[in-house]
Amino acid sequence: MTDTPQLGFDTKQIHAGANPDPATGARQVPIYQTTAYVFRDAEHAAALFNLQEVGYIYSRLTNPTVSALAERICALEGGAGAVCCSSGHAAQIMALFPLMGPGKNIVASTRLYGGTITQFSQTIKRFGWSAKFVDFDDLDAVKAAIDDDTRAIFGEAIANPGGYIMDVRAIADISDAAGIPLIIDNTTATPYLCRPIEHGATLVVHSTTKYLTGNGTVTGGCVVDSGKFDWTASDKFPSLSAPEPAYHGLNFAEALGPMAFTFHSIAVGLRDLGMTMNPQGAHYTLMGIETLSLRMDRHVENAVAVAKWLEADPRVDYVTYAGLESSPYFGRVKDVCPKGAGALFTFAVKGGYDSCVKLVDSLEIFSHVANLGDTRSLIIHSASTTHRQLSPEQQEAAGAGPNVVRLSIGIETVADLIADLDQALAKATA
């Protein structure tokens, strides 16, 4: 089904990208478990390889099941095109790959998932790239961090782990003025709670592993392009605005317009990086997205109740949930995430590090896992796990201090979640 803007979100999450199978009439998107596709003839094959015709060549590049998922996420985000890949971390590299080059940098928020901070502060150095970490609440600092070699700004709509709400529009205005794209990780918010492209984002990345799939079964990633950035406005993005030697001098921006980034990510990115999503994983995520809005409403409802209960508990120092009126980010919720502040946040336990560890070990319904966005409620002590590799200063800046635990609130009966936290806090702070 071609995306139709007037259709409601609930309709798109079921129907976008999902036409009946032309061969069998199957209503659910089939799992096309194949590596390659038969060409009609030699001319057809040549046209596909020259990007003169759209079609399927080899499943490292495109696969009908994976393409259906990309179309669905693209429709929900309001983008021009999308490409799916093997994980959220892969999506971040895929997003940066056409933009960057040796000696180039990005400006990134200090409030990011610990693995993303490591990827940006350490791993991308192997490509000759670098990152400058800035508090995105300090707009002047963001502006000052941009230099002639900056090629993108990167932040999370709802930051992991603290649940902080980013002022996407304010940062987008800065990126527009600098002539560089804004990349927003929308994993924690999902397009149901926040549509970053409407707030000025150029690219949106997802770990589809989380809320989009919703059941903790498969990993995956996606990059959605708004199609609104002019890659030819400067000479900063030659991969998209200059002739591509691998395709006989094809200029992606001139030839493909709003789809330039998406086609480059498939024809060059997936071709050479090989960060391919498998079709069975795409199938699980397609099924998960069918209930996304229903799940997110319950996630948010439960998160509000749990956060309010924790905030009133004397064994808790503070709660970071942006849906609380006490949060400094509460005022942004109605603008950035009008349907709710998500279901991810942290709280500080009186007694510090040791009490946090006891709390985690004492819970019975909450699962102690390195994941978020599951139907199940999850907990982790970020300082000893996901953010362990960071310095104490980086941990504090990211909202993952030693006295803090992160909750991902699921869709269980909320009274049971509160009772579980109550008994665990009693043991942790005894």
CA distance 236 to 46: 31
Give tens-digit pLDDT for 131-155: 999 999 999 999 999 999 999 999 9
Q: Which residues are CB-neighbours of 295 under 8 A, at least 6 positions away?
A: 211, 214, 375, 411
Kind plus residue range of the DSSP H or E element containing 152:
strand 150-156
Give tens-digit pLDDT for 259-274: 999 999 999 999 999 9
* In the predicted structure, residue 179 carries a pLDDT above the cut 70: yes
Look at strands 182-185 and 150-156 and give their pairing: parallel
Query: What sign does the dihedral 164-118-381-317 (CA atoms) show?
Result: negative
Kind plus residue range of the DSSP H or E element containing 44:
helix 42-49
Give residue 4's pLDDT.
63
pLDDT band at 394 (very low <50, low <70, confident <90, very high): confident
Give residue 273's pLDDT.
96
Give residue 331's pLDDT.
96
Look at strands 203-207 and 221-225 and give their pairing: antiparallel
| Domains along the sequence of the chain with CATH | 9-288 (3.40.640.10), 292-428 (3.90.1150.10)
Give tens-digit pLDDT for 198-225: 999 999 999 999 999 999 999 999 999 9
Q: Which residues are CB-neighbours of 350 under 8 A, at least 6 positions away?
A: 314, 315, 316, 317, 429
Give residue 386's pLDDT.
72
Give residue 385's pLDDT.
78
CB atoms < 10 A from the CB of 6, how many? 5
